[in-house]
């Protein structure tokens, strides 16, 4: 028989401790976000469709992005037992300097259109966390203002080679003068990818207002208040700002970009030079032979060539071939700290986050970016402890198995030259 009694008031009070209400709405919604996916949900609710879809979308059928994210889900971790890791060290040495975490913020364009604090929020949050921040050529905050937002941290600059080469060279010189220590020379954007969400939404700078745009914006007045009461939205490094995203990219980029341009930039840039957008082993070898400091395996977040190679699948092959001679990094599809841990275990020296950072920015400005970093840090630390490792350097390929979902079919035999019958 169960003995029953009337509850004592003092015991009830111990069991019924109410949580103190959080009156700050922004802090309340960010504290409730436990994953990057949660931040994405908040961002979608608070941001007009055109701006959100620019961040969230990819090229054509968006297969490259979906496959990249699936690749991170298709892994199996192999934890060690009885190997306690009470004191963790998540720091790494990357391209001649420190980072408190094994990831940095990737370059993103149009950032102030996502949320008015834009790159200032990203650079400030990165500086506070002790990780690098990368400014895009298509950024909406100037090189010098990013430096002001992150005066003591590490700032990197992403460079597109444009039709007017002098513009690109001038940007590189400005970044060097502002103390940016690493240049990301981007090679996967000779022309713009077919970003169909943007075309359907009429996404452009300045924004194109339609009846649908206005209806979608009505329940999001805070975004419009920010947009209309802050400095004019424009590219901080470029003078041409009119047109759709594709039109702007096609006007600025040059399909004739070549290794000769890489040589010019190598001579021009005084710091570390990294090539971003590498998608096969052969190009990796050639770049190492040319003396680049690092390689970023990336398909531009799936925003350029759809059905492009999956960077995470490519990672072990490139590390095996050139990992001793250059710093190998990776982006595209990272949505969890476990993705970062898996990448480091398979030989990456560093990772970069793009959408995850922008989801936080749209969800809550600078505080949202801080929340993104905090979520990823927590996931990295928890995964490391569960694997039984205390430092990033202890992560090895034995900790991860890449499970195979997509596998190539056998290549057909080369066709013999077609004979032309004599007349």
Rounded mean pLDDT of the chain? 90
Helices (H), 32-140: 36-46, 49-56, 63-73, 111-114, 118-129
96 phi-psi bin (left φ>0, alpha ψ -120 to 50, beta other): left
Nearest to 77, CA basis, from 353, 407, 343, 314: 343
pLDDT bucket at 241, cuts 50 / 70 / 90: very low
Q: Of 80-94, 293-307, 343-357, which gets the smallest average pLDDT?
A: 80-94
Predicted TM-score (pTM) of this structure:
0.90
Beta-carbon contacts of 25 under 8 Å, excluding residues fewer than 6 positions away, are none
Q: How far apart are CA 234 and CA 361, in angstroms?
A: 18
pLDDT bucket at 388, cuts 50 / 70 / 90: very high
Nearest to 338, CA basis, from 33, 145, 109, 75: 75
- Domains defined for the chain, CATH in brackets: 25-402 (3.20.20.70)
- pLDDT tens readout for residues 86-115: 899 999 999 999 999 999 999 999 899 899
Nearest to 252, CA basis, from 58, 146, 110: 110
pLDDT bucket at 14, cuts 50 / 70 / 90: confident
The H or E element containing residue 185 is strand 182-186
Q: How far apart are CA 323 and CA 25, in angstroms?
A: 46
Residues designated as active site: 300
Do 67 and 310 touch, CB atoms closer than 8 A?
Answer: yes
Q: Which pair of tokens denotes residue 223? A: 């975004």
> Does residue 137 have a pLDDT over 50?
yes
Do 368 and 374 touch, CB atoms closer than 8 A?
Answer: no
């Amino acid at each position: 028989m169960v003995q029953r009694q009337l509850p004592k008031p003092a015991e009830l009070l111990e069991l019924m401790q109410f949580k103190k209400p959080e009156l700050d709405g922004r802090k309340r919604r960010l504290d409730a976000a436990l994953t990057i996916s949660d931040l994405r949900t908040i961002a979608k609710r608070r941001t007009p469709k055109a701006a959100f879809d620019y961040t969230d979308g990819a090229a054509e059928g968006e297969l490259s992005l979906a496959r990249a994210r699936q690749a991170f889900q298709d892994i199996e971790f192999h934890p060690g037992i009885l190997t306690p890791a009470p004191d963790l060290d998540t720091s790494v040495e990357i391209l001649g300097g420190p980072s408190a975490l094994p990831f940095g913020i990737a370059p993103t364009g149009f950032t102030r259109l996502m949320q008015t604090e834009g790159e200032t929020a990203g650079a400030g949050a990165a500086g506070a966390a002790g990780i690098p921040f990368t400014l895009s050529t298509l950024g909406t905050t100037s090189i010098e203002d990013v430096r002001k937002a992150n005066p003591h941290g590490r700032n990197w600059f992403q460079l597109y080679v444009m039709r007017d080469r002098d513009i690109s060279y001038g940007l590189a010189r400005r970044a060097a003068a502002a103390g940016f220590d690493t240049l990301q020379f981007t090679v996967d954007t000779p022309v713009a990818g077919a970003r169909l969400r943007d075309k359907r939404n009429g996404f452009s700078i300045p924004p194109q207002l339609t009846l649908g745009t206005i209806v979608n914006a009505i329940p999001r007045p805070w975004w419009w208040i920010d947009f209309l009461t802050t400095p004019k939205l424009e590219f901080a490094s470029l003078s041409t700002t009119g047109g759709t995203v594709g039109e702007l990219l096609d006007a600025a980029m040059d399909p004739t970009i070549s290794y000769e341009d890489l040589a010019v930039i190598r001579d021009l840039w005084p710091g570390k030079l990294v090539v971003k957008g590498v998608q096969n082993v052969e190009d990796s070898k050639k770049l190492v032979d040319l003396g680049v400091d690092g390689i970023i395996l990336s398909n531009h977040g799936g925003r350029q060539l759809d059905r492009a190679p999956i960077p995470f699948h490519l990672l072990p092959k490139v590390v095996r071939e050139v990992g001793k001679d250059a710093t190998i990094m990776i982006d595209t599809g990272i949505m969890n700290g476990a993705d970062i841990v898996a990448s480091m275990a398979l030989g990456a020296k560093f990772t970069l986050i793009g959408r995850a950072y922008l989801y936080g920015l749209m969800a809550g400005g600078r505080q949202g970016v801080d929340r993104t970093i905090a979520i990823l840090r927590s996931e990295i630390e928890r995964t490391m402890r569960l694997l039984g490792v205390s430092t990033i350097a202890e992560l090895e390929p034995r900790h991860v198995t890449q499970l195979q979902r997509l596998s190539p079919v056998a290549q057909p035999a080369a066709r013999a030259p077609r004979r032309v019958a004599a007349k």
